[in-house]
């Protein structure tokens, strides 16, 4: 039995996610015994990218955002990539889904460009986090405290900068998801 047995985790993504920022956390979650659902705006498959220009693997979508209910999940992962967070930010249902995790005090893990979604969900003010440096100013302007560290944890929110930080990100993600709800 892994640390996350009896836990169901949502991975919120659109096409254009950075491949390893979805596949590595999903693999680790499954190794820890979690049930993982890939959630996206449309049924079928979403496609990964490596870097900013090379399309790679396709991943099956388990549920659409309109079918998913945040109450059914004990944690949320938001992979980065340039295109994925930008597409999620335009989707009101995706933003409401993200907000529901914060309102319930459930742990959330976001990497690289993923915290852009958190800005739109208006949940970063006075929170400590990190991200890719290209969105540092956006996070600071939204009221976040930004740190240049491989992983930052703040009341159940786990953030990292890039695929290079995945080992630390995955460890802290599992730790926070195992702890469960965090009271603000």
Which amino acids are annotated catalytic? 113
3-state SS class at 24: helix
Task: For residue 114, give Cα distances in angstroms to 19, 21, 56, 131, 183.
Answer: 13, 10, 19, 8, 23
Q: From CA 168, how far away is CA 27, in angstroms rounded?
A: 14
- Helices 19-31 and 166-179 meet at what angle, rounded to 10? 50
Give ∠ CA 85-91-95 in degrees, rounded to 5: 75
């Amino acid at each position: 039995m892994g640390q996350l047995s009896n836990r169901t985790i949502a991975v919120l993504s659109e096409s254009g996610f950075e491949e390893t920022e979805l596949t590595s956390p999903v693999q680790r979650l499954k190794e820890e015994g979690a049930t993982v659902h890939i959630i996206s705006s449309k049924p079928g498959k979403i496609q990964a990218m490596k870097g900013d220009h090379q399309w790679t693997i396709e991943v099956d979508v388990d549920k659409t955002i309109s079918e998913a209910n945040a109450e059914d999940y004990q944690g949320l992962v938001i992979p980065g990539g340039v295109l994925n967070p930008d597409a999620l930010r335009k989707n009101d249902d995706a933003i409401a889904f993200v907000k529901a995790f914060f309102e319930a005090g459930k742990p959330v893990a976001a990497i690289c460009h993923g915290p852009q979604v958190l800005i739109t969900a208006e949940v970063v003010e006075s929170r400590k986090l990190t991200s890719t440096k290209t969105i540092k100013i956006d996070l600071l302007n939204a009221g976040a405290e930004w740190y240049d560290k491989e992983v930052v944890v703040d009341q159940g929110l786990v953030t990292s900068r890039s695929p290079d930080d995945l080992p630390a990100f995955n460890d802290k993600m599992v730790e926070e998801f195992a702890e469960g709800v965090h009271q603000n």
